[in-house]
Amino acid sequence: MSSISHNWTFQLPTRVVFGECLSQVTSIVSELGARRALIITGKAAMKKHGVTARLTELLKPVESEVFDEVEPNPAMSTFEKAQIAVKQHNCDLVVGLGGGSPLDVAKVAAAIGNKDQSPSQVFIFPTKIASKGLPMMAIVTTSGSGSEVTPFSILSDPENGTKKAAGHPFLYPTVALVDPSLCKTMTKDVTAETGLDAISHAIESYWAKKASPITDSITLEALNHLIPNIKKACEESSNIVARSEMALGAMEAGMALGNTMATAAHSISYPLTVRFNIPHGLACALTLPVFVRFNAPAIQSKIPRLLHALGVKSIDEAADSLTKLMAEIGQPTRLSDLGIGKDDVPWLVEHGYAPVRMANNPREVAEKDVEEILKQIL
């Protein structure tokens, strides 16, 4: 059982609506009293599958504008353009539609609203937002980031080879609509990559120093949904049962992560994504099996429940099962599979060692440990 001797907090102000719920947009928007909405989404998928058009119709009689310029791992320029759009159209509601990237941009746009603040200021640590901004509705179409229920937004910073995170209670969405039927639009690879992100969130939240009895329960429950269903969701894109299980598990993992923050595996993932264009969820999962072994001595009391959730009997089996799972859903398991060699390791160590996340890891991580961990998966 988890220790309750330490102090902890838990917060989740976001209202969650789960199920075939996109049709509830109309009543929710009426309840929020909105008149002009900005829909922030990606460049192609939602338009291609008709989701953007359907959402625009459901928003009526509220007038809506669409900002569809969000790229994977969005840059500062995208955050700035979205903020300009909010002000230009005098919006009083922001709707994020898509995966983690559109939702992250939408959260910052809503938090700033019409205030005289630049998005770049939000990403200066520690995040400062003077007052509450506009209401924000998060409509998630992937099962991975959990951004629909977290107070975080992630910025890609190519110049420095890493990412920056903003974290503030005002970044929590007002309402999250989790409609698993929208996740049918994901390809097999996107399903795999986002699913691995959710699994990483759950495991890292479970062993994080900021974990609590509440987050422990949520993360283990998340794994109970994610582990048995990720392969089926990858193989059967229209399987609504598997999609629902993945959507629920990813959301639960996000609920936990919003309170615990990430740990070392996420820290190392950032330069892997920014420099080598490795999808975020895969980048997190690559080092996760090694960290299962590395962190085991520091989480002895928590290991039995983790093993049970993973359906294994030992730490070695747990690590091996995660590597095997990655291979079974068609994902690479070694850095060399992705064109990364030993000469890249020093750069990855330098840019992947984020002190805040490393400090949240249950076992102390030195730069030499990161180097050794990366060499183990070359």
pLDDT of 2 > 90? The answer is no
- CATH dotted code for 188-376: 1.20.1090.10
Q: What is the pLDDT of residue 5?
A: 53
pLDDT of 257 > 90? The answer is yes
Q: What is the pLDDT of residue 160?
A: 86
Give CA–CA dist 71/74, Å, rounded: 5
Which has the closest alpha carbon to 105: 76, 143, 69, 79? 79
Which has the closest alpha carbon to 295: 278, 271, 272, 318? 318
Mean pLDDT over 191-215 rounds to 98
| Phi and psi, residue 277, nearest 5° | 60, 30
DSSP 339: T
Cα-based angle 227, 332, 164 (whole degrees, multiple of 5): 80
CATH 1.20.1090.10 residue spans of the chain: 188-376
Q: Which two tokens stand for residue 258?
A: 């919003």
Alpha carbon of 243 to those of 182, 248, 301, 310: distances in Å?
9, 9, 32, 19
CATH 3.40.50.1970 residue spans of the chain: 15-182
Q: What is the pLDDT of residues 13-36, one digit of tens each?
A: 999 999 999 999 999 999 999 999
Q: How long a stretch of residues is the chain?
A: 378
Which has the closest alpha carbon to 325: 145, 180, 200? 200
pLDDT band at 4 (very low <50, low <70, confident <90, very high): low
Give CA–CA dist 209/205, Å, rounded: 8
Q: What is the pLDDT of residues 125-166, one digit of tens each?
A: 999 999 999 999 999 999 999 999 999 999 999 988 899 999
- CATH dotted code for 15-182: 3.40.50.1970
